[in-house]
Structure 1
């Protein structure tokens, strides 16, 4: 294997594409192997007819010019010549006759919520103070902590300073516990619903701070356009992308990864292997249980109370654009309790995409209804259903019909005009992504979690690195982007290649 050192990358999601682009820029020769017919991974998107369908992206973090994360997105070509949608609110919830909107303008949010509940004013002012402090935080993207010298680590800690200390404390506070301190039920509802169950006050403060600072928005065209730009950037830098090329095994010899064997039997020898897919699937299937993850990552899989997975049923509809709620993400109560995986759901969270002109066609736009579900139990439920395609389809259409009735009751202008398009269940994510318990994202770090720096290395096996959002403190496309970069920095460090 003369010439540039070769890297096999498994998975063409954001992390795999990020790793491929950075590796190509630093002199490696890479091939990305993707099991599906399109790139994107968890960043799901597709065309239904001529209408682009958004399967994952509510918002994108890192869109403010001049920030380190924005520079990373541009280095991989994701935001080149891109316009953005800037919603007026991060999240809007309707409850007890009131509507609470987490507005982009923090002062507007404070005035509006204090008017709803004057007795909650002190707690609201405290929350807004925390968000303002969090606005000064910048996500570290320069290099992973394990590659920093003592002086670089000191500088990084000094730069984050007081903000990092405040956020560290907020990460130990359950968002549900914080929400319970509000007197007004609409405020309790909004703070309980804005992020997945189990989230922390620190996660909300950081997300809302980024939104109010203009660092969170939606690129026009959503996932489909963004992934295509990353693929173009990868190919322009002489990378090789193979679609519908599932990897069956990671080849090892003498304690080192030596390449991959594809499902069609083809064997490819490489200097490095990067697995940008589920770590459990990598170890259990691709490495055939011969090697295990680093212990800190194993703990995430074995401590579901501290690191739960997040699953859902996601229903896709086409709806008249003028009948949709004004808010991009909107939560409302329904008197129709929707049974899903043995649990009842009395609220629906809808995401509407009429604010992006590319998602509007003939006066209709995409509407997404999310029904959250517990990780392992809901996966087993849908896994059992999937044995019988008829039973699986019947359950999907029952949920779609229940959601349609709830939508039509809340938004009468939709009556008779909704068109059910498709549905994602935990089995969708298991089949497409080989995701642990059918998770649609990585782990959720709760207040019980002990934060740890993860490296993606496997004890006893060299020349293989895991990458992706499973290694970050939070899920998200920005985490996948940064982890892909970190992985190549670790390879460059091992190969004594200067990172510029």
Structure 2
């Protein structure tokens, strides 16, 4: 039955709207999927339950301060060519994001307060001072050994990934031959990074450092973090003249650029449009029904930018095999976050700070222990537009280490909830005191967020940081489903958690609805396949 024809007996009084492709959710993965699909000429509608797009990357304003809720570490957005898939998607849809570059960040570690420059030489200097020349030599040897793996990862244009025939249909000639030559190294990046690091590193600080970077990237220790993801990161961060980027306007500026790209190519976005059901007929996704009852039909299919757990309630129980449902439901989850948003009057001490600080309490507790790591970012040091004149804006969070069980039975607004929130978020106070001892004298506005806050605004299962598929037990699942024309994207599918992975997943989802020839033409236009 054609998706444009209602089932017998429905006979709606008004025609049901129809588009080529419906995207459920406007996180970065969903926006990349929608924008790329629109770039290929499909009529796309992105639906978002919240009042603004972006998912975890959305922002909000309070009292003249512009706060962000998600990513704080960005790279590869300010130059072209770039190996960052998000930069490639933006290029594909004719958009750019102005950035401020910076080359150092702060660490508050058991070893002391450090300021580390991005790149190999600045890090070696810190290691030499902290651990001596033998440790610096050990790190140099590790990076030299890792370099060919980083090169192999960088030679793989992730926007060329395609199900079925994989890269064969989108890459040929020089790029394809180069990748064939790297096949062995690429295969060795299919597992976890921990074994690779432990094979070459012995110094405790260096192993702790790798563990910290892995946890920041994936929400998991290095024993479970993807080797390919880390090879890509090391390839970017430890190049000569390496730098990090901050998108001016914060993560909302990236979201706005993707929305502009979507609309530039004829796509549309609707907010405050929660999806109640993905319509399935004869084993095929035919569209969606919104929570208010409106039906929107999809001629080509549906892309779901939802978590594995939040997808299941949207599907008819009899439309999917029990085994697949059970696998989705059993997806392991990272723990949640605490969030801290603060508006501050500027002080001389703040002007000397790097934009980011990462704090670790005790290496021996494990990098993923409760409240053992926190990240503080003060982006207004690079982008003054985020705060009123003479003020700074700060975002703190504890990545993937806050247990849901502490919050599950509490009622937001209750005295018990307020007490626990104040107790748990006091961690941020203690960390900031190490940088700005008198910070409380400068506070204008303070907001605290919990796993319940995260679940409320992002509609995510248990407020989780994301799925926790361990790389040592196989890759993240792909975007396929047992339902024809229903494709998944986002942090729950390959390549996993993080901005570059979700951009890849969105592009891959879009490319399932176009031919390999169309995909290759786009790659050639971007000079990713020549």
Matched, 1:17 2:31: yes
Matched, 1:433 2:458: yes
Partner residue of 2:99?
84
Residue 167 of structure 1: how far off its partner (Å)? 3.7
Report 1:22-37 matches (<5 A): 22-37=36-51
Secondary structure of the structure 2 residue equivalent to 1:85: strand
1:19–1:405 distance in 2 versus 1, CA, 3 Å? closer
Select the residue among 125, 141, 145 that pairs with 2:159: 141
1:21, 1:239 within 8 Å by CA — same for their partners in 2?
yes
Select the residue among 274, 278, 285 that pairs with 2:303: 274
Question: What is the RMSD computed on CA atoms of the aligned residues?
Answer: 3.6
1:215–1:89 distance in 2 versus 1, CA, 3 Å? closer
Secondary structure of the structure 2 residue equivalent to 1:249: strand
Q: Distance in 1 between matches of 2:491 and 2:395?
A: 23
Residue 458 of structure 1: how far off its partner (Å)? 1.6
Give the structure with the larger strand fraction: 1
Matched, 1:51 2:51: no
Q: Distance in 2 between matches of 1:220 and 1:413?
A: 28
1:29–1:207 distance in 2 versus 1, CA, 3 Å? same
What is the TM-score when the length of structure 2 is the normalising length?
Answer: 0.79
Secondary structure of the structure 2 residue equivalent to 1:468: coil
1:183–1:71 distance in 2 versus 1, CA, 3 Å? closer
Secondary structure of the structure 2 residue equivalent to 1:252: strand
1:328–1:167 distance in 2 versus 1, CA, 3 Å? farther
Residue 207 of structure 1: how far off its partner (Å)? 1.6
Deviations 1:12-48 (A, max 9, x none): 2222222222222223222111101001112121222
Residue 193 of structure 1: how far off its partner (Å)? 3.0
Matched, 1:220 2:229: no
Partner residue of 2:203?
182
Report 1:382-397 matches (<5 A): 382-386=407-411, 389-397=414-422
**What runs of 5+ residues in structure 2 fail to find an aligned partner?**
6-16, 363-368, 522-530
Partner residue of 1:471?
493
Partner residue of 2:221?
198
1:420–1:49 distance in 2 versus 1, CA, 3 Å? closer
Partner residue of 1:287?
315
Partner residue of 1:72?
89
Q: Distance in 1 between matches of 2:361 and 2:436?
A: 12
Q: Distance in 1 between matches of 2:183 and 2:519?
A: 29
Partner residue of 1:261?
289
Partner residue of 1:349?
375
Partner residue of 1:207?
233
Partner residue of 2:390?
363
Q: Distance in 2 between matches of 1:300 and 1:388?
A: 32
What is the TM-score when the length of structure 1 is the normalising length?
Answer: 0.83
Matched, 1:451 2:480: no
2:28, 2:502 within 8 Å by CA — same for their partners in 1?
yes
Q: Distance in 2 between matches of 1:195 and 1:346?
A: 15
1:352–1:298 distance in 2 versus 1, CA, 3 Å? farther
Deviations 1:291-324 (A, max 9, x none): 44897997576363xxx52421121122336433
2:58, 2:70 within 8 Å by CA — same for their partners in 1?
yes
Q: Distance in 2 between matches of 1:221 and 1:146?
A: 39
Residue 188 of structure 1: how far off its partner (Å)? 5.5
Residue 426 of structure 1: how far off its partner (Å)? 2.1
Partner residue of 1:338?
none
1:22–1:226 distance in 2 versus 1, CA, 3 Å? same
Deviations 1:436-485 (A, max 9, x none): 33223x3345453312561x2221x2121112232123312222222222
Matched, 1:380 2:380: no
Secondary structure of the structure 1 residue equivalent to 2:278: strand
Secondary structure of the structure 1 residue equivalent to 2:72: coil
More divergent stretch after superposition (390-399 vs 263-272):
390-399
Secondary structure of the structure 2 residue equivalent to 1:113: helix
Secondary structure of the structure 1 residue equivalent to 2:408: helix
Deviations 1:175-196 (A, max 9, x none): 7x68993255xx5654443342
1:193, 1:331 within 8 Å by CA — same for their partners in 2?
no
Select the residue among 422, 441, 444 that pairs with 1:416: 441
Q: Distance in 1 between matches of 2:291 and 2:422?
A: 34
Partner residue of 1:236?
264
**What runs of 5+ residues in structure 1 fail to find an aligned partner?**
336-342
1:447–1:14 distance in 2 versus 1, CA, 3 Å? closer
Q: How many residues align?
A: 478
Partner residue of 2:525?
none
Q: Distance in 2 between matches of 1:179 and 1:390?
A: 51
Partner residue of 2:527?
none
Secondary structure of the structure 2 residue equivalent to 1:221: coil
Partner residue of 2:9?
none
2:26, 2:55 within 8 Å by CA — same for their partners in 1?
yes
